[in-house]
A and B are shown apart, each in its own frame.
Chain A
Amino acid sequence: MNIHGKAFKYGANVDTDVIIPARYLNTSDPDTLAGHCMEDLDPDFIRTVTKGDLIVAGPNFGCGSSREHAPVAIKASGISCVIAPSFARIFFRNAINMGLPILESAEAAQSISTGDQISVDLSTGRIVNETTGETFQAQPFPPFIQKIIEANGLMGTLKQD
């Protein structure tokens, strides 16, 4: 699966309260959630994001609450992939479980700037910054996780069983 889009760059410890503030958690409609995605951190995000774009951030992305509404909002906003040096563990699980690709790469996360054009090959973990020409290699998922991704998420594996 190939991804191509422009990068939105954020800092460390982007928490789920800024990804989708709790005041909107009394809905679970993806499009409604997407309309408020990142609004407390970057009010311009939702006006400028286009389908296929990427979020690139510092360590511990998605820390805080277990709300699956966070990866749901990010995915529904059009974001195709999140790249960070590390992810908070519940966000990591949730992203895999509902099919939002995420990649761990400290080098890419440090080097990429807002607005850079990025392409990603998810099957190999190869990240290319087309604006600067730099390339980065992220770890592909282990087989156990790949099985979940191939089943289009955790609930898909249940159907296979």
Chain B
Amino acid sequence: MGMTMTQKILAAHAGKVTVQPGELIEAHLDLVLGNDVTTPPAIRIFEEAGLETVFDPNKVVLVPDHFTPNKDIQSAEHCAKMRRFAKSHDLDHYYEQGEPGMGVEHVILPENGLVAPGDAIIGADSHTCTYGALGAFATGVGSTDLAYAMATGKTWFRVPDAIRVYLTGQLAEGVTGKDVVLHLIGQIGVDGALYQSLEFAGPGTEVLSMAERLTICNMAIEAGAKNGIFPVDAKTVDYLKQYAPQRYAEQNYTIHQADEDAVYRQTITIDLAQLRQTVAFPHLPENTRETGTFEAIPIDQVVIGSCTNGRLEDMRLAARWLKGRTVAKGVRLIILPGSQRVYRQALEEGLLAVFADANAVISAPTCGPCLGGHMGILAAGERCVATTNRNFVGRMGHPKSEVYLAGIPVACASAVLGRVAGTDELPD
């Protein structure tokens, strides 16, 4: 029986020729990630177990990004605990606020050249699945798994079945990778891919940019998936050449292809050309509707950024739709470049000036508002359009607030019009 891409990567990391869906394996890991929410409990577990060393100081990555810049004393203590651990274990990849490589974890790991095709990565953050965009296997775990993996460089997996998502055609103007993944989640539901891989395939994959692939894989978890993964093509290799030049030069990566006779639970075909700008209504990412199909919904806030849509391409797209426009009276637009690198480049390209001219708040790179942590919390009854990834009850603040998930163009149009809207509703 043929194997999927995911199954091949898992087999390679378990020292096996083949694996079967449902099989329990122990896999070696290429990278282990934690953030300031999940790492402090992992450090406690690590130390309570009497462990003294990490398996490889070059392969344990710690990123303070959720409650940073430190929101309050408790957050500061959490971050300090992580900082001390990173220092005492001589970790190569700890990214302090303001350093060139700092930012939101799933924005910076690919940017800092820490992800390559064929890698097996776990992170104590559910959106670790983002890295499937580069043809890697990456999935989220909790703090105990993080502690165990920091010590051993290994973890256990149940080999997943897969859903094949076959993409054809090209996206229409103003339609983005976010619309692709929202459409997919709307179709299969928030548990539609539970315990399974989402394996993207077909000619449509090649027309999507790396930023769009990262956005799509980022939200695989919102369909319950273990991971999302794209085939490796010329764009992937170009990305590697730019961001991981050493691994590119040393050819230190492996391109796995799904076997032609790989078995999938189902195949879902999506013609990209048929997709329209899509919004996920409260309180589940599966509650999707296309713009123009609902009554006016007034909003109070718009958030642009996050591990889903905080990359340079997202900032450029936001500037394209905000240029020469201003935010509607009574609406707060908060823009968070996803990393220091994105921030600096946005500065150099004049994008931040466009945002300031549009009356946006420009924030430091942080996960803050996405999880209702800080930097943009909603009051009771307030509504927000966000380019983030979750719209659960209370996700961005008060349990009686509402989050509408969308791509960058819809977020910009909504900010300008003061209601949930597509770009075709903007005046010329």
Which positions in A face B, CB cutoff 8 Å? 13, 15, 17-18, 21-23, 25-28, 40-41, 59-60, 63-69, 71-72, 86, 88-90, 93-94, 97-98, 142, 144, 153-155, 158-159
Contact = CB atoms under 8 A, between A and B. Distances in A.
B76 to A, nearest CB: 9
Interface centre among A22, A64, A86, A142 (most CB of B within 10 A): A22
B75 interface: yes
Given A13-B284, A88-B224, A68 B38 contact: yes
A60 B194 contact: yes
B142 A13 contact: no
Interface centre among A59, A144, A155 (most CB of B within 10 A): A155
Contact of B393 (A40, A65, A72): A40
Interface centre among B71, B143, B152 (most CB of A within 10 A): B143
Nearest to A39: B399
Interface range for B: 35 or more
A63 B190 CA distance: 8
B251 interface: no
A18 B140 contact: no
Interface in B2-51: 24, 37-38, 40-41, 44-45, 48-49, 51
30 contacts: A17-B392, A17-B395, A18-B393, A22-B371, A23-B372, A23-B373, A25-B373, A26-B37, A28-B41, A28-B44, A40-B394, A41-B393, A60-B194, A65-B126, A66-B140, A68-B143, A69-B37, A72-B41, A90-B141, A90-B221, A93-B141, A94-B141, A97-B145, A154-B145, A155-B48, A155-B49, A155-B147, A155-B148, A158-B49, A159-B49
A21 B395 CA distance: 7
B161 interface: no
B239 to A, nearest CB: 26
A66 B144 contact: no
B142 A40 contact: no
Contacts of A13: 190-191, 284
Contacts of A97: 142, 144-145
A17 B194 contact: no
Contacts of A68: 38, 41, 124, 142-144
A155 B392 contact: no
A98 B221 CA distance: 22
A155 B150 CA distance: 12
Contacts of B38: 66-68
Contacts of A142: 24
B194 A158 contact: no
Given A41-B393, A158-B49, A67 B372 contact: no
Contacts, number: 132
Interface string B366-398: 000001110001000000000000101111000
Interface in B33-84: 37-38, 40-41, 44-45, 48-49, 51, 66-67, 71-72, 74-75, 78
Interface string B119-156: 00001111010000000000011111101100110001
Contact of B392 (A15, A88, A144): A15
A25 B66 contact: yes
Contact of B373 (A18, A22, A154): A22
Nearest to B66: A25
Contacts of A18: 392-394
B400 to A, nearest CB: 9
Contacts of B45: 155
Contact of B394 (A21, A59, A88, A159): A21
A153 B142 contact: no
A69 B104 CA distance: 21
A67 B367 CA distance: 15
B145 A64 contact: no
B142 A66 contact: yes
A26 B81 CA distance: 12
A60 B192 CA distance: 10
B394 A154 contact: no
